[in-house]
Chains A and B, each alone.
Chain A
Amino acid sequence: MKAIEAINLVFSYPDGTRALEGASFSIDSGESVALLGPNGSGKSTLLLHLNGILRGQGTVRIMGREITEDNLSWVRSQVGMVFQDPDDQLFMPTLEEDVSFGPRNMGLSEAAVQEAVSWALRSTGLVDLEAKSPHHLSFGQRKRAAVATVLSMRPPVMVLDEPTSNLDPRSKREVATLIRSLQEKGTTIITATHDANLVPYMADRVLLLDRKIVADGDVRQILCRRNLMKGLGLEMPLLADLFERLREEKIYSGATPFAADIAAKEIIDLLK
């Protein structure tokens, strides 16, 4: 089944900026997809269409149902949205209350709320901070807190807008691992990101956006295309860059590795 289907989205901001010019794509249930594009290419704008916060021309379908005025609250129970700016997301006096806001709105029992909250805090590594005010957390902590507030609702579709920007390397890896483990449990995920190196760890498919979808395919297929990536001003993952150069020099002909240990093995084989 298609979890998300976007058809020909066109959107202009009130000041006349054309942010989307006919973006179309679809995502199957259980897929994890990365959305890549330079600054200002419309990633955040596109994502805000997926739970009906922004609505321009075009159609968005969630689980096969078109988003309309009447089913917005259903749509929002299906699509969890983590905003790019964590300060947009956190508004309750304590972290614990913020993370429990969603589950309580869903009318869960107090025990179920507590369970969802502690799971979300554990998954984002924030257990010790639950009593703190969100506005007293560090930026990276707020970023993870924003993820926790949506995680606790356990939505079948998650939309993440640059969840790893400003995180330290370990937290980045943890977020990528979290995305993978959510996907294993059946969640459909779309993540906007600039971390090309991290993409292979969290997604199987890549969408390249420049006000419309300019490329759509397997992670390996997209991230290894130098001209395509360079044309948009994006960087290739470091190892992909290296091995594609070796391939261009006709030194290497295997599959492009994305992980250091596999790359090391390939290099040792080449040196032999």
Chain B
Amino acid sequence: MSHFDPEKHSCLGSAIHSWDPRAKIVSLLVLIFAIALAGSILPALAGLCVSISLVLISRIPLAHVAGFMKWPVIFLLPLALFLPFTTEGDCLYSFQFLSVSRQGLFFSLLYLTRGVAAALLALLIVGTAPFTVTIKALQEMGLPASLTQIFLFAYRYVFLLNEEFSIMSRSLQCKGFVRRSDLKTARTLAMAFAMLLIRSYERSLAVYNAMLSRGYRGDIPIPGRNGLAASDLFKSLLVLGAAFSIMAK
């Protein structure tokens, strides 16, 4: 399977990894918020620098970071390319009917910086602790238990569906199925999709039975954690300090 696994480097030993997940989530969310609100380019760039430094501190391999950033960048880029041409303002450069405005360029740059910085921080939140630890931290901060379980199993099911789907398409190929744009293809795909739903329904029933067999009575046991240490607070203070100075600009 070639899918991206955000947890792949969740067990490294960096300062970010050892940060208490509750303190980490709150501080990084505040920082994301501060960067998202930055109204001018300098604080946004400062935010980007802070994000990049944090990623470097976390020691997550850059290839992994690039694999993750691919998606937000694909999502951000079209808009960032459009903005300079479509925003009205002082003309910087014009070519036939296209003209680049200074305000447009400014917005585009601001938008890209903020987006990339926020995505990097998001990677730090999900990528520096095992998924259950993050979820458990959210639960401790007040997320309802039913929601935590939905997250937990949704996460498991994304992989499961992905796997069932690739198994199914592999077996379709082995049986000589070629995708065309005709009715037969549509029929086959529709049936495969319906089978996928039925299979995942029956699978979830079986998994539920397995959970009952192992004493499941409505909540997922995740081990507890100790209180915050001084180092956790110190790291949070640093990040929150950065967040507030970005906001103050």
Contact = CB atoms under 8 A, between A and B. Distances in A.
B189 to A, nearest CB: 24
Interface residues of B, number: 30
A167 B5 CA distance: 27
A218 interface: no
Contacts of B206: 83, 85, 88
Interface stretch (B92-100, B151-159, B228-236): B151-159
Size category of the A interface is 35 or more
Interface in B67-125: none
B210 A131 contact: no
A81 B216 CA distance: 13
Q: Say what secondary structure dominates the interface of chain A.
A: helix
A251 interface: no
B213 A76 contact: yes
Given A91-B210, A94-B132, A135 B221 contact: no
Contact of B203 (A80, A88, A131): A88
Interface string B194-220: 000000000100110111111111001
Contacts of B203: 87-88
Contacts of A77: 215
Interface in A76-131: 76-77, 79-81, 83, 85, 87-89, 91-94, 97, 100-102, 104-106, 110, 113, 131
A164 B244 CA distance: 59
A211 B211 CA distance: 27
B214 A153 contact: yes
B1 to A, nearest CB: 8
Given A101-B221, A133-B5, A133-B7, A76 B130 contact: no
- Most A CB contacts (10 A, CB to CB) among B155, B156, B214, B221 go to B214
B130 A73 contact: no
Nearest to A106: B215
Given A105-B215, A106-B215, A91 B5 contact: no
Give the most central of A79, A92, A102: most B CB within 10 Å: A92
Nearest to B162: A135
A149 interface: yes
B213 A53 contact: yes
B66 interface: no
A97 B132 contact: yes
A135 B210 contact: no
A153 B131 CA distance: 24
Contacts of B152: 92-93
Contacts of A87: 160, 203
Interface string A150-163: 10010000000000
Given A97-B132, A100-B223, A105-B216, 15 more contacts: A53-B212, A53-B213, A76-B213, A79-B213, A80-B213, A88-B203, A91-B210, A92-B132, A93-B152, A101-B220, A101-B221, A105-B221, A113-B223, A135-B159, A135-B163
Interface of A: 48, 51, 53, 72-73, 76-77, 79-81, 83, 85, 87-89, 91-94, 97, 100-102, 104-106, 110, 113, 131, 133, 135-136, 149-150, 153
8 contacts: A51-B213, A76-B214, A76-B215, A94-B132, A102-B214, A105-B217, A150-B214, A153-B215
